[in-house]
Amino acid sequence: MSVLLQAIDIHKLFGKQHVLKGVNLDIEEGRTVVIIGPSGSGKSTLLRCLNLLVKPDRGKIIFNGIDITNSKVNIHTVRQKIGFVFQQFNLFTHLTALENVMLGLVKVKNLSKQEALKIAKESLLSVGITEDLWVKYPAQLSGGQQQRVAIARAIAMEPRLLLLDEPTSALDPELTVEVLNVLEKLSRNRMTMVIVTHELGFAMRVADEVVFMEDGRVIEAGSPEKVLLKPEKDRTRAFVSKLMELYRMERIK
């Protein structure tokens, strides 16, 4: 399996705050990597560095063999190949679900309206958004529906890498399942994904690799069984067990 994306020694400062302190990450093609960690650990910032929404202060990001941190690279073309799904969905409020998915296809990839329509419809159906919802505006959709449309929007662009920043954190618990199922399906179809999440059950089932981050650094990385059930580092164990307890409480409810 080839390495699709490499993050090398990433540092990021926001004012005086040193948010990323030398992070290294290798993402192999076709694998699903889940990043876990306490809030403030820099997980979201790292994710945003991967498609250069945030520019690292030091370090390199090599995507598909190209150093995208080099300012000479046209980042806009690169971003077409990297999909991003946000915690707050971020659907375009002034467009319907269908138009949201079509916008990038027509205006960025310059496809014809018919082609874009076809791809958009397929995308939406693959995430379980049925035809009656296509003409609805985001304000008229539930959180789970909005997030699935957001996923459809990202995958319609046929990216080689999909980044997801806590995709289910803003959802009511009942709606989380429908989104996680979509992500599981994508993972089984060998989409390369990096997901920041707290959903440990999902990580156990679906992830090929789990990365634990704390305080701007990668503390431990490995298979889900290793990191979640038999962690090496104390800090990992402390975090995971705390989360598991929360999880057990949720389950009992």
Q: Which is nearer to other proteins, 135 or 177 (CB)?
A: 135
To other proteins, the closest distance from the beta carbon of 238 in angstroms equals 32
Residue 160 vs 237, nearer CB to other proteins: 160
Comparison of 139 and 249: residue with beta carbon closer to other proteins: 139
Shortest distance in whole angstroms from residue 160 CB to other proteins: 13
Using the minimum distance from each CB to other proteins, give the nearer residue, 71 or 77. Answer: 77
Give the footprint of other proteins on this chain (CB under 8 A): 51, 53, 76-77, 79-80, 82-84, 86, 88, 90-94, 103-104, 107-109, 137-140, 153-154, 157
Q: What are the angstrom distances between the C-alpha of 161 and each of 3, 51, 186?
A: 11, 10, 11
Phi, psi of 195 (to 5 degrees): -120, 125
Give the shortest CB-77-to-other proteins separation in angstroms. 7
Closest CB to other proteins among residues 103, 204: 103
Measure the CA–CA gap between 113 and 120, rounded to whole angstroms: 10
* Three-class HEC string of 100-141: HHHHHHHHHCCCCHHHHHHHHHHHHHHCCCCHHHCCCCHHHC
Residue 143: closest CA among 109, 173, 103: 173
Closest distance of CB 214 from other proteins, Å: 25
Residues 163 and 47: beta-carbon distance below 8 Å: yes
Question: Closest Cα to residue 151, out of 101, 96, 77, 92?
Answer: 101
Residue 107 C-beta: closest distance to other proteins, Å: 6
